[in-house]
Chains A and B, each alone.
Chain A
Amino acid sequence: EADIYQTPRYLVIGTGKKITLECSQTMGHDKMYWYQQDPGMELHLIHYSYGVNSTEKGDLSSESTVSRIRTEHFPLTLESARPSHTSQYLCASSELGGTKTQYFGPGTRLLVL
């Protein structure tokens, strides 16, 4: 069983607010990922990291930032929330080697009014 946690689980916020979504994993995985997913739809990669102090942009990165100061922690920040950011945000982690299976957190459901 994978140990990856996300907070908050649900968030309702007004337009223009700055928000940070938290993600932590206790498996010592080097790689971590943020995805955006509308209900039942495909996943879109926002950002990823392959180790401490490494971050890379995905397809939807322009309106958000991430940091990777510690192996276990990979927060995602939206500088100015907009209604178009309303979605589910999934954090995942995986090993550099082996099967490289991604393990997903429970997700954060964000509603921007």
Chain B
Amino acid sequence: ELKVEQNPLFLSMQEGKNYTIYCNYSTTSDRLYWYRQDPGKSLESLFVLLSNGAVKQEGRLMASLDTKARLSTLHITAAVHDLSATYFCAVDVSGTYKYIFGTGTRLKVLA
């Protein structure tokens, strides 16, 4: 079965703290995506990781990809309230036009 699993599902953290969200996938994939979704809104693209060892950073967020372990991480550095949202990872399933999304991680940053 093609699956993308994220953990944790819920994360409540204090401002200024660091934390990592994990994304494991079971299928062969050429690409790994991270999206952000604010409550009641649509999905916004954050990062696309194209190869093993890829690392992308934007502000307090850094994403990495290990294709051998089929694992991606989204690291949050010195969290601020504005980062509160749901974060999804997704993979592009090789040989198809489909994408599979993870279950999402609901992040709440407390002031």
Choose from B86, B90, B97, B106 the contact partner of A31 (Cβ within 8 Å).
B97
In the assembled complex, the CB of A51 is this many whole angstroms from the nearest CB of chain B, namely 10
0 or 1 for each of A17-37: is its CB under 8 Å from B? (1 = yes)? 000000000000001010000
Contact bitstring B83-98, A, C-beta under 8 A = 1, else 0? 0001010101000011
- CB contact under 8 A between A50 and B97, given known A43-B88, A99-B50, A101-B48: yes
Contacting residues, chain A, for B98 (C-beta < 8 A): 45, 48, 58
Q: Size band of the A side of the interface?
A: 20 to 34
Min CB–CB distance B59 → chain A (angstroms): 18
Assess whether B42 is in contact with A107, with CB atoms less than 8 Å apart.
yes
CB of A29, distance to nearest CB on chain B (Å): 12
Q: Does any Cβ of B come within 8 Å of A102's Cβ?
A: yes
Partner of B104, one of A40, A92, A104, A107: A40
The chain A residue sitting closest to B6, CB to CB, is A42
> Which residue of chain A is the closest to B43 with respect to CB atoms?
A104
B31 contacts across to A, CB distance below 8 A = 99-100
Interface size on B, residues (CB 8 A): 25
Known: A99-B48, A101-B45. A48 touches B97 (CB 8 A): yes
B102 touching A42 by the CB < 8 A rule?
A: yes
Give the shortest distance, in Å, between A61 (CB) and chain B (any CB).
13
Asked whether B103 is an interface residue with its Cβ less than 8 Å from the other chain, the reply is yes
B-contact bits for A48-66, CB 8 A (1 contact / 0 none)? 1010000010100000000
B94 to chain A, nearest CB (A): 11
Assess A103 versus B45: contact at CB under 8 Å? Given A39-B39, A40-B86: yes
* Chain B residues engaging chain A, CB cutoff 8 angstroms: 31, 33, 35, 37, 39-45, 48, 50, 86, 88, 90, 92, 97-99, 101-104, 106
Sample (27) of A-B pairs whose CB atoms are under 8 Å apart:
A31-B97, A33-B99, A39-B39, A40-B37, A40-B86, A40-B104, A40-B106, A41-B103, A41-B104, A42-B101, A42-B104, A43-B43, A48-B97, A48-B98, A50-B97, A58-B98, A90-B42, A99-B31, A99-B48, A100-B31, A101-B45, A101-B48, A102-B90, A102-B99, A104-B42, A104-B43, A104-B44
